[in-house]
């Protein structure tokens, strides 16, 4: 008998989805901490977090910029949890949470200085074309930061791929190829010492 694959990671839903988001907020903390050390955030940067989950990273970005920080996710549970966590910023018109698919974002071209994607590109379909969609919404000279818990060489990769619905794992060199093909001008990779955490920053 084939075990049923986990679907909550790809798109949290229902009461179990709320628990999944809480667990993600906690488990992804080391990835987030390393990513924030790798990226330069300007005090006037306008930022979008794609696959914003529980809104933890939106909350962190809001402390680093005086500009707006938005989030996008196609899970209604994630949108609600992100909005709940960043309620004050939403009330102050410094944040909005959008429910949409990354491949069809209802966002104008060249809006953001920095776009981030924490632990989410594993589930993006047609990744090179999706990177092209991300490129469109970034201002000239802006950045796209990808942060993930595996560099494609984690000993648990095979287990995750077999148990998590819709998951694909990428190495730094694969991401660099897709990002450059999508039209980004340069790509830099950072790997946490003695760990598998990978951060890739592409510049437009």
Q: What is the 3-state secondary structure (H, E, C) of 27-45?
A: HCHHHHHHHHHHCCCCCCC
Task: Tell whether pTM > 0.95.
Answer: no
Domain residue ranges of the chain, discontinuous segments joined by +: 14-203
The 10s digit of each residue's pLDDT in 28-81 is 689 999 999 999 999 999 999 999 988 999 999 999 999 999 999 988 888 998
CB atoms within 10 A of CB 26: 10
The residues pairing with 191 across neighbouring beta strands, listed in sequence order, are 198
Q: Is CATH 3.40.50.150 what the domain over 14-203 is classified as, yes or no?
A: yes
The 10s digit of each residue's pLDDT in 142-166 is 999 999 998 888 887 777 667 667 7
């Amino acid at each position: 008998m084939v075990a049923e694959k986990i679907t909550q990671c790809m798109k949290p839903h229902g009461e179990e989805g709320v628990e999944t988001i809480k667990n993600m907020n906690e488990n992804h903390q080391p990835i987030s901490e390393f990513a924030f050390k790798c990226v330069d955030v300007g005090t006037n940067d306008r930022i979008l977090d794609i696959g914003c989950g529980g809104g933890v990273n939106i909350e962190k970005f809001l402390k680093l910029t005086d500009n707006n920080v938005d989030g996008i996710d196609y899970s209604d549970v994630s949108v609600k949890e992100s909005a709940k966590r960043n309620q004050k910023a939403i009330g102050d018109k410094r944040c909005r949470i959008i429910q949409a698919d990354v491949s069809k974002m209802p966002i104008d071209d060249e809006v953001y200085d920095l776009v981030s994607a924490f632990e989410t590109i594993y589930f993006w379909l047609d990744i090179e074309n999706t990177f092209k969609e991300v490129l469109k919404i970034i201002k000239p000279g802006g950045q796209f930061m990808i942060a993930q818990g595996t560099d494609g060489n984690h000993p648990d990769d095979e287990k995750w791929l077999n148990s998590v619905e819709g998951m694909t794992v990428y190495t730094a060199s694969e991401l660099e190829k897709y990002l450059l093909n999508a039209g980004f001008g340069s790509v830099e990779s950072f790997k946490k010492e003695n760990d598998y955490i990978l951060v890739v920053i592409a510049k437009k």
